[in-house]
Amino acid sequence: MWRAVGPRTRFGSYFERPSVSPFVGRYEEKKLLEEIFERCARDSSTHLVTLVGEPGAGKSRLVEELRAFTEERSGLVRWRQGRCLPYGEGITFWALGEILKAHAGIYDSDSPESAAEKLEATLPDVEEKPWLRARLLPLVGLDSGQPAAQDESFTAWRRMLEHIAADGPAVAVIEDLHWADPALVEFLAYLAESADGVPLLMLCTTRPEFFDRNGAWAAAGSRVQTMRLAPLFENETARLIQELMDGLASEPLQRLILERAGGNPLYAEELVRLVGERALADDPRVLPDTLHSLIAARLDLLTPAQKSVLQDAAVIGHVFWAGALRQMGDRGENEVDVALQELLRKELIRSSERSSMEHDAEYSFWHVLVRDVAYGQIPRADRAHGHRAAAKWIEHKANRRIEDVAEVLAHHYLQALDLARATRNLEQAAELAPQARRFLALAGERALGLDTPAGRSPARTRTRTDPRTGSRTAETPHALGRCRLPGGAKSRGRPGTRRGAP
């Protein structure tokens, strides 16, 4: 007899995003997604679908619509979701780690013993269970003590995904594939070709620039589809605007919004929200020209307390936690809760039904562009302080599984270090450098454990021994230059290089 105690979810799977906006213009794509899912379920087959579109084109909304469809369908459907991060190569398989931790119910704040116990409980009871365990442990930030070749890791990860779908249809979502490293892209292509006999839908979202680097990505076939989301037609955008405004704006103002939106549903929604928050005249000069300036105009309407909370959240990243906001700004619990409730009401952030940090409420930005704009408004000196404070909180929560978030911590400390140097705060820079070195080295160790090119590339990281002192130095292309590792520790791999926006 089993008793349900709660849903096993982590990032992306169950963020509360009420569909207040009408679903417009993507009916064919929605129907095709549903048909592909039903084909997976009927034939016990694996399919790979990639949703491609500019920011705000509606990729996340289509994912949301498919999830709603699977919930209304009879029978249990397992839904797992992971995201690619916009920095770091030692964190290559972060999305897979999120999916595995979601399936096992592992919190990022769990102890190593608890994480290992939860993973053990989810492993299939097969003869090669020890072999499988050893190749899954690094994905949840635990050292298996058995370095594996990439082909063996790929096989083990495929087996685990097949196990998730063994008892019924499953959907595994990989968000923001344009930030993925080549190794993850290689694994997904391998999965599409080799997984079979289970009802599994792999659903990826990405921006068009992904194909600039991956032109041969998953060639079309019976089990591989790519859906490109073009701008909405004018009549579709007009309908969206009319339903959102519900007669609250004049026809000339609706036409202005229609012209500015350019078929981008997010742009249309943000314009309507701005009109609802400010009294705007039928004058094109009062409507922002770009999506970024539009979001900036909405953020300017926040109170200082709300904006401060939102900016601290932006420093943490797309996903953030109430506890971090309290510590970073030395705020009281009620102060943070009130600000977050108002940001939720304004549809700038959304909440999660279940956090990846135990006993700590988790949130995410409504759209990554909101996070980018909020971050861009922070003075450089304040960003340095924020990244350092965020790193301290994450380091404390990760406890003894620090290697699982080593690349995230390296990112925060490196950002803080770069910003301290840019503002000529040399004392702060001197304090940050040892922490940056430490987590760069840990990230390199983790990358090597996953057998990624980031952990093995001698062209990007070299370890030099000083003949006079015997100390070892990791040489990286980062601004840290030549980094002496703490305690003369040996660096076995490239500690990590940031990529893209923070």
Name, of 100-104, 212-216, 473-477, the range with top average pLDDT: 100-104
Strand partners, 175: 83
pLDDT at residue 100 greater than cutoff 70: yes
Contact 226, 220 (CB under 8 A): yes
Q: What is the pLDDT of residue 488?
A: 32
Q: What is the pLDDT of residue 286?
A: 67
Query: Average pLDDT, stretch 145-160?
Result: 86
| More confident position, 101 or 479 | 101
pLDDT at residue 222 greater than cutoff 90: no
| More confident position, 403 or 478 | 403
Label residues 328-355 b or e (16+ Cβ within 10 Å = b): bbebeeebbeebbebbeebbbbbbbebb
Of the pLDDT bands very low, low, confident and very high (cuts 50, 70, 90), residue 3 is low
DSSP classification of residue 489:
P
Of the pLDDT bands very low, low, confident and very high (cuts 50, 70, 90), residue 400 is confident
Q: How far is CA 143 from its chain centroid?
A: 23
Residue type, 64: E
Strand segments (E) across 135-199: 170-175
Q: What is the largest CA-CA distance in the chain?
A: 79
pLDDT at residue 469 greater than cutoff 60: no
Per-residue pLDDT tens digits for 336-361:
999 999 999 999 999 987 788 888 99
- Indicate the SS3 state at residue 200: strand
If you write DSSP's letter for every residue of 321-384 in order, what string do you get? EHHHHHHHHT--HHHHHHHHHHHHHTTSEEEBSS-SSTTS-EEEESSHHHHHHHHHTS-HHHHH
Quote the CA–CA distance of 109 and 113 in Å, as a whole number: 12
Mean pLDDT of the chain: 83
Query: Average pLDDT, stretch 50-60?
Result: 94
| More confident position, 75 or 145 | 75
pLDDT at residue 88 greater than cutoff 50: yes
Per-residue pLDDT tens digits for 113-132:
999 999 999 999 888 999 99
Q: How far is CA 14 from its chain centroid?
A: 14
Query: Average pLDDT, stretch 294-318?
Result: 94
The whole-model pTM stands at 0.81
Q: What is the pLDDT of residue 237?
A: 94
- Indicate the SS3 state at residue 157: helix
Strand partners, 202: 48, 172
Query: Average pLDDT, stretch 428-439?
Result: 94
Strand partners, 462: 475
Q: What is the number of alpha carbons within 13 Å of residue 162 lying toward its C-beta?
A: 17
pLDDT at residue 371 greater than cutoff 70: yes
Per-residue pLDDT tens digits for 156-209:
999 999 999 999 999 999 999 999 988 899 999 999 888 889 999 999 999 999
pLDDT at residue 463 greater than cutoff 90: no
Q: How far is CA 324 from its chain centroid?
A: 18
